[in-house]
Structure formats: C-alpha cells, structure tokens
C-alpha cells in the first residue's frame, strides 16, 4: 500500500454513513480530542460531511460548517489511527477548502491542538476573540471546558 490515500476514496457523506461517522468521531471524542456528536446532530448536518472510505468502512471524516456570511469552520476532522500518516487528513482538509471555494466563503477557521499540521496547510493562528461568539455555543459540551487547550487558526481564501 502506498503512503498516500487515493482521492477517489473521499466523497460526500450519505445517510447510510451516519452510524459509521458517529462511531469514528465518538471513539476519538472519548480520548478528549474532539467533541462527541449525536446521531441527530450528524443527520442534521450531513451535508457538511465528507468521508474517507476503504473497503466500505469509514476511516476518516471532516465537516465544513458555514457559520456566517464569509466564514466557515472545519470541524470533526478524524482519521482512524490505523490510517494516520497516509495523507488522508490533508486530503479531507483540501476537500473542505475546495467546497468552501465553491460556496464562495472567504475565510475558513478551525480549533485545534495540532497547529503544526494545519500550519503546513496554510492556516495561521489567531486570537479566539476574533471569532464570532456563536461558535462557542458548543464549547460547554467539551470535557476541557473552560480550560481549552485548542488554538484558533484561520485561512483566507481568494
């Protein structure tokens, strides 16, 4: 197997993917890496999600969630531990960025504990106070609240 994932393994999520997406996200959420997601949350936001699938199993996902007129968030980026280090996370981020361009979003942000990874993809650190207050509604669900270790990062689109 090569180090790079095949791009044709990344696609937009469909309804049948929701249980697999939830398992992937919530397994990592138990380790404190991201917020858990309920089935209803994923169904309601299904159009936000892209997945990485191999042998009919979901090994990665990411969501692009539009938060305001010119702002979207990449959230729920997860690559199963057995598939890490193969470029899948990068491809999922690139998929989200391409979708943001198609939607004519001007800026994409994210919250992360892995700024090195996102820095290589052109994201720059910003003060969390620069983000709209409405994005903090989910923070109260986090096990790290109120002592969040995540950094805010943003990328401007052309």
pLDDT of residue 7: 45
Residue 1 forms part of a structural domain: no
Is the pLDDT higher at 151 or at 11? 11
First to last CA, the chain: 35
Residue 134 reports pLDDT greater than 60? no
Residue 54's Cβ-side half-sphere holds a number of Cα atoms within 13 Å equal to 14
Q: Does a structural domain hold residue 133?
A: yes
Report if residue 2 sits inside a domain: no
Q: Tell me if residue 112 falls in helix, strand or coil.
A: strand
Check residue 130 and report its DSSP letter.
G
- Position 130 pLDDT exceeds 90: no
pLDDT band for position 2 (50/70/90)? very low
Given a cut of 90, whether residue 103 has pLDDT beyond it is yes
Q: Is the peptide bond before 72 cis (omega within 30 degrees of 0)?
A: no
DSSP code at position 65? E
CB 151 within 8 A of CB 109: no
- Kindly report the CATH number assigned to the domain that includes residue 18: 3.40.630.30
- Structural domain total, the chain: 1
Q: What is the CA angle 117-123-129, rounded to 5? A: 115
- The confidence score (pLDDT) of residue 31 equals 83
Say which residue, 56 or 128, is predicted with more confidence: 56
In whole angstroms, what is the distance from residue 67 CA to residue 80 CA? 27
Q: Is residue 55 part of a domain?
A: yes
Q: What is the model's pLDDT at position 151?
A: 86
Assess whether pLDDT exceeds 80 at residue 150: no
Alpha-carbon distance of 56 to 9, in angstroms, equals: 10
Tracing tokens 């917020």 back to the chain, one arrives at 35
Q: List the domain range (segments joined by +) for residue 60.
A: 7-156
């Amino acid at each position: 197997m090569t180090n790079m994932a095949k791009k044709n393994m990344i696609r937009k999520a469909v309804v049948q993917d929701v249980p697999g997406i939830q398992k992937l996200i919530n397994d990592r959420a138990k380790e404190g890496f991201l917020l858990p997601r309920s089935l209803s949350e994923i169904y309601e936001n299904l159009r936000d999600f892209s997945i990485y699938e191999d042998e009919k199993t979901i090994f990665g996902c990411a969501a692009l969630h539009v938060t305001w007129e010119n702002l979207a968030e990449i959230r729920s980026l997860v690559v199963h531990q057995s598939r890490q280090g193969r470029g899948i996370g990068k491809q999922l981020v690139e998929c989200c960025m391409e979708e943001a361009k198609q939607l004519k979003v001007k800026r994409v942000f994210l919250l992360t504990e892995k700024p090195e990874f996102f820095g290589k993809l052109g994201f720059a650190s910003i003060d969390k106070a620069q983000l709209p207050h409405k994005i903090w509604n989910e923070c109260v669900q986090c096990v790290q609240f109120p002592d969040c270790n995540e950094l805010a990062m943003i990328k401007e689109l052309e």
